[in-house]
Amino acid sequence: MKKDKQNKKTKNQFMYLEKYKLNIQWILPIFIIILILSYFGVDYVKDLTYQNVYNNITELSEQTTAQLNHSITEQKKFVEIMVDSINSGYFKTPEEIFERYSHDLENYHFTRLVILDKQGNGTTSDGHIVKNYHNIQEFFNQDTVYLSENRPSTVSDNQVNIYSKTFTLNKKDLVLFATVNTEDYKEILLRRLFHGKGGTYLINNNGSILIDSFNDIKENNINLYDYIKTSYNLDKEDSNKINFMAENIKAKQVGTFDIKLEKKTHFIHYEKLSVNDWYVVTLAPDDTIAKELTTFLGISLGVCLLVNFVIISICIYIDLSNQKKNHKLYKVAYIDPVTLLGNEAYFKDNGSIFLKNSAKNKYIIVLDINKFKALNNIYGYEFCNHILKTLGEKLANILLSNNITCRISNDVFATIFSYEYDIKHLLDTIFNNTSNLNIDGTSIHINLSIGVYKVNSKDVDINKALDKAYMARSKIKGLYNDNYYIFDEVLENKLVEEQKIESSMEDALKNKEFKVIYQPKTLTNNEKFIGAEALIRWYKDGDIISPSKFIPLFEKNKFIIKLDLYIFEQVCKDIVSWKEKYNYIPIVSINVSKEHFVDENFINEYVKITDKYNLDRACIDLEITESATIDGKVDVLKILNTIKEKGFTISIDDFGTGYSSLSMLQNMPIDIIKIDKVFVDKADLNSNQNIINYIMILANRLGVKTIAEGVETKEQVDFIKSIKCDMIQGYYYSKPLSKQDFEDYFNKNR
Ligand code: C2E
Ligand code: CA
Ligand code: CA
């Protein structure tokens, strides 16, 4: 249950661990844009296709009309020729005329010729007698060749159209008819029309239907406009379209439009014939001519959607794989793989954002587990990773809302949060909840050192704030029953002091303010001089500043790397001078800060200097702190081997404080173990006897020499002698001496 809560908490803090999310904010616009483009694209195609259909139907209609026109013109011409020849006086009787032209009738699709007088009496070319032909006056009123609308034939059941022209024969006014079967025209009209689904009307100028290729209309004199309106039950809009066509036809215009007939779109085109202001009205339903259109639009729309789908899919794919990549990079850059909390970079990036928010009472806490390295040695790496993970979870759990909790280095956690109540109360909660951890069923007791910095609004730089928390933490390291320190005025002053030191260090080096002094080392058994340790002093404005005041700072800002080499060179120069002056070379130990231990290349700098002064490196012992040898990040063994290969001897300084294991030491090419002062301290000598004994056993087993430092009293000397420690360094024999005093010392004691 609690674990669940924890998981949730961790998730909230690390949003980046959640599933990838689609970036709707840009996918949606793309989708919409493509959709709009598709819409306009399809719309454009639709327009184009409609235009095409319009053109198509217009063209078909024009062709039909042209054929009709052609037939009519030919027929008219034939009638004219006949009448011309009659008028020329060539024929004497109607029979002669019939005789002459009856053979040509078929070619012109005429059924017969008829010649009638003004009373409508006469004969036909095929031998019929006509009496009182109705409306005969209509034909006598025409000047030119006249084409009648359809009328019933007098000699058959068919409807006929009649070409007529008056003439005079034997001083009698007569009229010549050349009749055509209306069906023949219908055939022309039907010829090209849309697989029979469409059709054509031939109408006169008033809209009366002369020919109907649909064969729907049985009566005569039906008005096309009324017929369409009533039989299809047109709405107002479509009725208006029909009216508009009627007006256009009256005005002898042509046109095309679409209209809904029985819920189906139909296209209508009206085209004028060359005779009688007749019109050919072509009508075709959508599902015949628009069939192609519908299919085409369907395909276009389908293609557009498919393209859209493909593009969106590609976009989503690219987006997801980018996110995946970013997520991976993010994980590498920002997540601590052990605790799944953020790492230092995450802490700094997000911490600086946090510092800028408006919350009050913001705190930065830096904490680490006391003697974590010892735990590492005892329980192993894997197990200790569990400790770190559990501790991280507990911290995040305690701080619950609105915090950034990260593991920023080995066993160091940092958290930034805002807290309205007494911070000491929160610190107590942290201690109470973390002092006993259950790791895979094993109960582990840990002690935390916590440095606290309350951020005041002016101070928003995360690095500086973090430094202050670090400073506060370093105040309590190693003290019992004192587990936290809140950055205060004392530290603020120290900080100011440090800033002063930092701003003057480079100049101090140039001005040779750093000097070397030498503290002699004595052989335990015969109390003879055996060598010395070179120690740095800073002569600043008449004061002597001790290294404890500036070395930690220089280690932090890496100035120590320059300074160590400077001191090393000074020592080399001194040795050369003693060699020349006394023909004597004392063995000198020189401190090498762990900050050099990035890789083994730094040794080249040391070698270069000894070469420059032509010194045998066997006379130089490099003191390396035990803490430097147990740094997990660098290959210490390789570095030590290189040092050894170059001919230096190696002392492990401050031994006993760093918890290096026997197995580690066994492989290291070390010459001397320097037992740390704290164990030799006269006040704690009795309580530390066991540790010193243990170190002696270790050294003997490894076959390395030992030296005790910080030996101030006879009592300590006796003790060191009793345990057979090889050398002694301390005030008892000598304090660190200036170069001159040291020369006197070794000349007297060697
Ligand atoms: P360390 O390497 O452990 O040096 C021994 C320290 O013990 C020296 O302090 C020395 O003055 C002091 N000491 C020696 N005998 C006694 C004694 O009988 N009683 C007491 N109470 N102290 C004694 P010092 O010179 O202040 O140096 C402090 C630390 O500064 C050194 O500790 C070393 O870690 C560092 N240091 C000094 N010179 C250098 C240097 O050139 N380079 C580097 N990297 N560190 C240096
Ligand atoms: Ca030392
Ligand atoms: Ca030491």
Task: Tell me what percent of the residues of the chain surpass a pLDDT of 70.
Answer: 92
Counting from 1 in the atom list of ligand 1, the atom nearest the Cα of 674 is: 3
- pLDDT value at position 359? 80
Q: How confident is the model at residue 307 (pLDDT cuts 50, 70, 90)?
A: confident
Which amino acid residue places its CA nearest to atom 19 of ligand 1?
Answer: 710
Range in 8-17, 126-135, 346-355, 674-683 with the lowest mean pLDDT: 8-17
| Matching residue, tokens 């260090």 | 505
What is the rounded distance in angstroms from the CA atom of residue 496 to the CA atom of residue 358?
Answer: 27
**Is 86 exposed, middle or buried (CB count within 10 Å of its CB: 0-12, 13-18, 19+)?**
buried
What is the rounded distance in angstroms from the CA atom of residue 389 to the CA atom of residue 376?
Answer: 14
Residue with the bigger pLDDT between 708 and 355: it is: 708
Task: Tell me what percent of the residues of the chain surpass a pLDDT of 90.
Answer: 44
Residue with the bigger pLDDT between 93 and 642: it is: 642
Which amino acid residue places its CA nearest to atom 13 of ligand 1?
Answer: 710
- pLDDT value at position 422? 92
pTM: 0.54
- pLDDT value at position 75? 86
pLDDT in tens, 409-436: 999 999 999 998 999 999 999 988 999 9
Which amino acid residue places its CA nearest to atom 8 of ligand 1?
Answer: 535
| Matching residue, tokens 């036809």 | 249
Q: How confident is the model at residue 329 (pLDDT cuts 50, 70, 90)?
A: confident
Flag whether pLDDT at 200 surpasses 50: yes
Structure tokens at 623: 């003191």
What is the rounded distance in angstroms from the CA atom of residue 451 to the CA atom of residue 465?
Answer: 11
Q: If you measure from the C-alpha of residue 488 to the centroid of ligand 3, how many angstroms do you get, rounded to a whole number?
A: 30
Q: If you measure from the C-alpha of residue 532 to the centroid of ligand 3, how many angstroms do you get, rounded to a whole number?
A: 13
What is the rounded distance in angstroms from the CA atom of residue 332 to the CA atom of residue 326?
Answer: 10
Three state DSSP letters for 150-166: CEECCCCCCEEEEEEEE
Structure tokens at 723: 């345990």
What is the rounded distance in angstroms from the CA atom of residue 401 to the CA atom of residue 5?
Answer: 12
Q: If you measure from the C-alpha of residue 743 to the centroid of ligand 1, how many angstroms do you get, rounded to a whole number?
A: 20
Flag whether pLDDT at 457 surpasses 80: no
Report which bound ligand comes closest to the CA of 564. Answer: 1
Q: If you measure from the C-alpha of residue 674 to the centroid of ligand 2, how many angstroms do you get, rounded to a whole number?
A: 8
Select from 154, 155, 153, 184 the least CA-distant residue to 71.
Answer: 184
Q: How confident is the model at residue 22 (pLDDT cuts 50, 70, 90)?
A: low
Which amino acid residue places its CA nearest to atom 12 of ligand 1?
Answer: 710
| Matching residue, tokens 């006929």 | 160
Counting from 1 in the atom list of ligand 1, the atom nearest the Cα of 709 is: 15
| Matching residue, tokens 């139907």 | 57
Instruction: Write down the number of H helices and E strands in the chain.
Output: 24, 28
- pLDDT value at position 3? 43
Flag whether pLDDT at 690 surpasses 60: yes
Select from 575, 580, 520, 514 the least CA-distant residue to 550.
Answer: 514
- Do 510 and 483 form a contact (C-beta atoms < 8 A)? no
Cα–Cα distances in angstroms (integers) from residue 494 to residues 490, 501, 547, in the given order: 6, 10, 15
Rounded average pLDDT over 188-212? 77
Report which bound ligand comes closest to the CA of 626. Answer: 3
Counting from 1 in the atom list of ligand 1, the atom nearest the Cα of 560 is: 44
| Gyration radius of the chain's alpha carbons | 58
Q: How confident is the model at residue 611 (pLDDT cuts 50, 70, 90)?
A: very high
Rounded average pLDDT over 118-140? 88
Cα–Cα distances in angstroms (integers) from residue 675 to residues 596, 656, 705, 727, in the given order: 22, 7, 11, 10
pLDDT in tens, 345-399: 999 999 999 988 878 889 999 999 988 988 888 889 999 999 999 999 999 888 8
Q: Name the residue of 518, 535, 556, 558 to mutate for ligand 1: max ligand atoms within 8 A of Cβ.
A: 535
DSSP 541: T
pLDDT in tens, 533-589: 999 999 999 999 999 999 999 999 999 999 999 999 999 999 999 999 999 999 999
Rounded average pLDDT over 616-633? 91
Flag whether pLDDT at 268 surpasses 60: yes
Flag whether pLDDT at 747 surpasses 80: yes
Cα–Cα distances in angstroms (integers) from residue 48 to residues 114, 194, 299, 552, 674, in the given order: 52, 20, 15, 84, 97
Q: Name the residue of 562, 591, 594, 621 to mutate for ligand 1: max ligand atoms within 8 A of Cβ.
A: 591
Most confident of 21-30, 64-73, 215-224, 597-606: 597-606
- pLDDT value at position 458? 65
- pLDDT value at position 234? 83
Residue with the bigger pLDDT between 489 and 185: it is: 489
Most confident of 36-40, 597-601, 607-611: 607-611
Structure tokens at 535: 């120690």
Flag whether pLDDT at 471 surpasses 50: yes
- pLDDT value at position 687? 83
- pLDDT value at position 741? 97
Q: If you measure from the C-alpha of residue 57 to the centroid of ligand 2, how many angstroms do you get, rounded to a whole number?
A: 107
- Strand, coil or helix: 542: coil
Q: If you measure from the C-alpha of residue 626 to the centroid of ligand 3, how many angstroms do you get, rounded to a whole number?
A: 10
Flag whether pLDDT at 5 surpasses 60: no
- pLDDT value at position 267? 84
Q: Name the residue of 551, 596, 742 to mutate for ligand 1: max ligand atoms within 8 A of Cβ.
A: 551
Flag whether pLDDT at 177 surpasses 80: yes
Rounded average pLDDT over 611-640? 93
- pLDDT value at position 16? 44
- Strand, coil or helix: 511: coil
- Do 178 and 163 form a contact (C-beta atoms < 8 A)? yes
Which residues make beta-bridge pairs with 368? 412, 449
Rounded average pLDDT over 588-599? 96
Q: What are the E-state strand segments in 492-633?
A: 514-523, 529-540, 543-545, 588-592, 620-625
- pLDDT value at position 197? 67
- Residues lining ligand 1, judged by CB closer than 6 Å? 519, 535-536, 546-548, 551, 560, 564, 567, 591, 593, 623, 653-654, 677, 709-712, 729-731, 736
pLDDT in tens, 163-173: 999 988 888 88
- pLDDT value at position 653? 96
Residue with the bigger pLDDT between 737 and 74: it is: 737
Rounded average pLDDT over 324-350? 87
What is the rounded distance in angstroms from the CA atom of residue 437 to the CA atom of residue 444?
Answer: 5
- pLDDT value at position 591? 98
* Cβ within 8 Å of residue 59, ≥6 positions away: none
What is the rounded distance in angstroms from the CA atom of residue 151 to the CA atom of residue 210?
Answer: 9
Residue with the bigger pLDDT between 403 and 623: it is: 623
Apex 279 CA angle, 278 and 281, nearest 5 = 155
Which amino acid residue places its CA nearest to atom 34 of ligand 1?
Answer: 591
Q: Which long-range contacts (CB under 8 A, 24 or more apart) does 606-613 make?
A: 606/565, 606/568, 606/646, 606/648, 607/646, 609/565, 609/568, 609/569, 609/572, 610/572, 612/572, 613/572, 613/573, 613/575, 613/576
Report which bound ligand comes closest to the CA of 563. Answer: 1
Q: How confident is the model at residue 294 (pLDDT cuts 50, 70, 90)?
A: low
What is the rounded distance in angstroms from the CA atom of residue 295 to the CA atom of residue 504?
Answer: 87
- Do 283 and 266 form a contact (C-beta atoms < 8 A)? yes
Residue with the bigger pLDDT between 234 and 718: it is: 718
Rounded average pLDDT over 315-320? 79
For 174, phi then psi, to 5°, come to: -130, 170
Rounded average pLDDT over 100-112? 84
**Is 25 exposed, middle or buried (CB count within 10 Å of its CB: 0-12, 13-18, 19+)?**
exposed
Select from 550, 512, 519 the least CA-distant residue to 535.
Answer: 519
Q: If you measure from the C-alpha of residue 619 to the centroid of ligand 3, how many angstroms do you get, rounded to a whole number?
A: 19
**First and final CA of the chain: distance in angstroms?**
73
Which amino acid residue places its CA nearest to atom 7 of ligand 1?
Answer: 710
Amino acid at 327: H
- pLDDT value at position 682? 83
Rounded average pLDDT over 681-707? 89
Range 331-350 burial, b when 16+ CB lie within 10 A, else e:
eeebbbebbbbbbbebbbeb
Q: If you measure from the C-alpha of residue 466 to the centroid of ligand 2, how many angstroms do you get, rounded to a whole number?
A: 29
Which amino acid residue places its CA nearest to atom 42 of ligand 1?
Answer: 591
Residue with the bigger pLDDT between 566 and 289: it is: 566
- pLDDT value at position 196? 61
Q: How confident is the model at residue 480 (pLDDT cuts 50, 70, 90)?
A: low
Which amino acid residue places its CA nearest to atom 16 of ligand 1?
Answer: 710
Q: How confident is the model at residue 8 (pLDDT cuts 50, 70, 90)?
A: very low
Residue with the bigger pLDDT between 343 and 56: it is: 343
Counting from 1 in the atom list of ligand 1, the atom nearest the Cα of 590 is: 41
- Do 522 and 529 form a contact (C-beta atoms < 8 A)? yes
